[in-house]
């Protein structure tokens, strides 16, 4: 019996590539996205056609992480069809770029809503089912901005991803005794193969943005500067392949954090030290059992 996977934000980019990789790897995949009958209809139809052509267990599901009703409806549908969700992949997110000062508080709150609160909303709907079964995996697509170097004018986005990462790390300890495992996958910047940079949002306050004109040489070249560090063959497919490799490992043996960085931004080195500090600290307070998902109680 194949494991049932729900992926948020699977219309394009890493989410879509992961949906395809896992389905081809034998998983039952629910690729979720907003507006499947509207702006994402083409993406959904393409995945549906792929599933039919290759005989994959890959189904499109409408799910807007900003809507309680949409999330509840999607989860109820999957549970009704499968009876469970074994793996929840938090991939949905949105990039914003521009002078931090130029973003209104409401714009920054909106970015947090997508990158942080949306994942929490989905968790609150899925976790009761995982806790009842005493089994499950939460896999978070984080970012090397949490631990590595990153250019300026990504402040609100980096702050939101760090908040999501911190939330995931804390939650991991709170659900491990229910047999729920947490996996963090931190991709570096990919300037090709995704719509991350092309669809980035910018602050609406053009006057404050213009006040930072002396940085135009920076803001106008961030993508090019990052691309210059990337190998010519770099493609986010490597992230999807790594997710598949990790999930193919036995439950309870998967690494807490894996960095997929082709830029060399330092995230891997910092994450390694952070992991050692995390393990040592919980050993010191005699809570190191929380770092590993408990075996299911019979």
Q: Specify whether the CB–CB gap between 87 and 181 falls below 8 A.
A: no
Q: How much is the pLDDT for 149?
A: 87
Q: How much is the pLDDT for 297?
A: 65
**Residue 293 binned pLDDT confidence (cut-offs 50, 70, 90):** very high
What is the rounded CA–CA span in Å between residue 157 and residue 163? Answer: 10
Average pLDDT taken over every residue of the chain: 94
What is the rounded CA–CA span in Å between residue 236 and residue 242? Answer: 10
Percent of the chain exceeding pLDDT 70 equals: 97
Q: How much is the pLDDT for 188?
A: 86
Question: Sign (positive/negative) of CA torsion 92, 71, 28, 127?
Answer: positive
Q: How much is the pLDDT for 193?
A: 65
Phi, psi (deg, nearest 5) at residue 196: -60, -55
Q: How much is the pLDDT for 195?
A: 64
- Tokens encoding 232: 């010519």
Alpha helices in the chain (DSSP H): 13-24, 41-54, 68-82, 105-112, 118-133, 155-175, 206-210, 216-219, 222-227, 237-247, 267-284
* 161-187 pLDDT per residue, tens: 999 999 999 999 999 999 999 999 999
Q: How much is the pLDDT for 196?
A: 66
- Tokens encoding 247: 């999930």
34-49: average pLDDT: 95
Answer whether residue 146 shows pLDDT above 80: yes
Q: How much is the pLDDT for 46?
A: 96
- Tokens encoding 4: 């049932």
The Cα-based distances of 233 to 198, 266, 268 in angstroms read 19, 21, 20
What is the rounded CA–CA span in Å between residue 35 and residue 86? Answer: 25
Closest CA to 30 of 53, 7, 2, 13: 7
Q: How much is the pLDDT for 192?
A: 67
Answer whether residue 298 shows pLDDT above 60: no
* 88-139 pLDDT per residue, tens: 999 999 999 999 999 999 999 999 999 999 999 999 999 999 999 999 999 9
pTM, full prediction: 0.94
Residues in CB range of 232: below 8 A, 6 or more apart:
none
4-291 under CATH 3.90.78.10, yes or no: no
Answer whether residue 237 shows pLDDT above 70: yes
241-249: average pLDDT: 98
- Give residue limits of the domains in the chain: 4-291
Which residue numbers are catalytic?
Answer: 157
């Amino acid at each position: 019996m194949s494991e049932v996977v729900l992926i948020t934000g699977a219309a394009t980019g890493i989410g879509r590539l992961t949906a395809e990789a896992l389905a081809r790897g034998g998983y039952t995949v629910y690729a979720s996205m907003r507006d499947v009958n509207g702006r994402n209809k083409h993406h959904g139809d393409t995945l549906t056609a792929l599933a039919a052509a290759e005989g994959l267990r890959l189904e499109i599901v409408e799910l807007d992480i900003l809507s309680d009703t949409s999330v509840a409806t999607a989860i109820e549908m999957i549970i009704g069809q499968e009876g469970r969700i074994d793996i929840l992949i938090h991939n949905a997110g949105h990039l914003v770029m521009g002078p931090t000062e130029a973003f209104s508080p409401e714009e920054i709150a909106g970015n947090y809503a997508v990158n942080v609160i949306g994942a929490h909303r989905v968790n609150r709907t899925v976790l009761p089912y995982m806790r009842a079964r005493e089994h499950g995996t939460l896999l978070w697509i984080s970012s090397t901005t949490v631990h590595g170097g990153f250019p300026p004018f990504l402040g609100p986005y980096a702050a939101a991803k760090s908040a999501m990462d911190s939330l995931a790390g804390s939650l991991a300890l709170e659900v491990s005794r229910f047999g729920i495992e947490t996996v963090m996958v931190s991709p570096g910047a990919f300037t090709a193969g995704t719509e991350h940079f092309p669809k980035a949002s910018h602050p609406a306050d053009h006057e404050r943005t213009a006040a930072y004109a002396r940085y135009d040489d920076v803001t106008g070249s961030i993508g090019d500067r990052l691309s210059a560090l990337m190998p010519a063959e770099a493609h986010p497919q490597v992230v999807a392949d790594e997710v598949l490799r990790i999930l193919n490992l036995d439950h309870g043996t998967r690494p807490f954090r894996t960095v997929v960085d082709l830029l060399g931004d330092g995230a891997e080195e910092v994450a390694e030290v952070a992991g050692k500090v995390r393990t040592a600290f919980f050993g010191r307070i005699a809570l190191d059992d929380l770092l590993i998902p408990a075996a299911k109680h019979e």
